[in-house]
Structure 1
């Protein structure tokens, strides 16, 4: 169905950073057709109902599509549905992701299961969805492709202990084995997000002559509960309101960081590789 609204798909849109991005976009003067990609449609519909209640005067409209980043069949069906409904895609925000380090640490997953699942969701599934969606992006006059990465993914900053956050990530444990964990357990998560940064750069190279703008957005240390240790504990460690990250994503969608296209960006800087 033809529409003048910007067609935007965001994965993982029913909770955390994705939900905050939808709320931020709902306050925009630009009208969007915001499509929530989520594994469970009922959760997406509940998120839409909450946004409509909070922003009854919004210019945007909403819908859901089932997206399971671990299922090629799900991703193929999702893109076919978008093609049938809209015929194009103006913005793809690859926000869906997960961290499994604590499940491995607590014995709920084997190391191989946790690492494979982390890369499957955060990198492989995201890359496959992007590959399927690119033909729809190429039909847009202002296509935008966004990968949500992590501040923990910087290789350069693994050599730094300049801030409390970097100290939690990079302080080496005492000699001996087994090692006692310091700070937050993130090894498979941050490794997968470093891999995602390269996926972004490869997509930027691939689509450069097509005029598609590409970024990796590093939203900051947010109290989303992604790390599996709870929002309140994260806030005690200095995590920020997820709404800050949501408004950052809105800014990228609406052109405020076009001068940093092709880069890994934070709210106030380009993130070191």
Structure 2
């Protein structure tokens, strides 16, 4: 029987690419979106808002009722956020964590009872290479994805006894429309960070525009699904993006900070 895959945030970007690719590989794919009726894709869609536990529960129940099982959850729904920490509204910080961190946890909590009953299941959390380091003007995004990385590690140990595997896939920059969906703290005229933040906003968009093809991410996700004993951490991106994590572990803090500051022209 085909594996049943539920992937959140599948209406655009990396999520849509992953879902479309897995669909061509004969997985039974259910993507989610807050408004699935507005999405045209080759795979099935269900309504799900990761900030609403009732919506999550209803979507999971719909898939399990139709298919009788749920083999894979890909926790992909997420939002970007940029801005100097001092200038970014705290409410926007909380909203970002509600989607990127607490939303992902709520979806995991909703699928775990079914996976425990099956004595099998795989959860893949889409985090980010940015979650391995505090990036200037992206600190809240880095924090939300870094927090999900640590929860992935903890949950992996908690549920292994039930035959459930939990891993994370951390992408670097991919050519998607993620920049359009970010919350951008305005470049305030009176801000002490005005010039440097404006320069870095342009740099961030440039990185996304020149990013890799999302199909690379999709193929790695398939490899994770088919692996008999998957790793806990996967980094997917350009060599220098992945190497930056190695450098952080190897270099003194101040040296690594200087490298980042030079990169971001600070």
Instruction: State the TM bucket, normalised to the shorter chain.
Output: 0.7 to 0.9
Q: Find out whether 1:222 has 2:169 as its counterpart.
A: no
1:108-257 equivalences in 2 (<5 Å): 111-140=89-118, 142-155=120-133, 169=135, 185-227=137-179, 228=182, 233-235=206-208, 238-255=210-227
Task: Tell me which of 53, 62, 76 is aligned to 1:95.
Answer: 76
Displacement, 1:146?
0.4
Displacement, 1:232?
6.9
Displacement, 1:142?
4.5
Displacement, 1:212?
1.1
Task: Tell me which of 233, 241, 264 is aligned to 2:233.
Answer: 264
Displacement, 1:259?
4.3
Q: Matched residue of 1:64: which SS?
A: strand
User: Quick check: which one's helix share is greater?
Assistant: 2
Contact 1:100 1:118 in 2 (8 A): yes
Task: Tell me which of 37, 41, 44 is aligned to 1:47.
Answer: 41
Aligned length: 220
Long gaps (5+) in structure 1? 49-61, 159-168, 171-184
2:260 aligned partner? none
Q: Find out whether 1:67 has 2:48 as its counterpart.
A: yes
Contact 1:11 1:18 in 2 (8 A): yes
Change (3 A) 1:247 1:73: same
Displacement, 1:25?
1.4
Displacement, 1:216?
0.7
Displacement, 1:23?
2.5
Normalised to the residue count of structure 1, the TM-score between the two structures is: 0.72
Contact 1:13 1:22 in 2 (8 A): yes
Normalised to the residue count of structure 2, the TM-score between the two structures is: 0.73
Structure 1 segments of 4+ aligned residues over 6 angstroms from their partners: 229-232, 268-273
Displacement, 1:264?
1.8
Q: Which moved more, 1:34-43 or 1:137-146?
A: 137-146
Displacement, 1:93?
0.3
Contact 1:91 1:137 in 2 (8 A): no
Contact 2:5 2:73 in 1 (8 A): yes
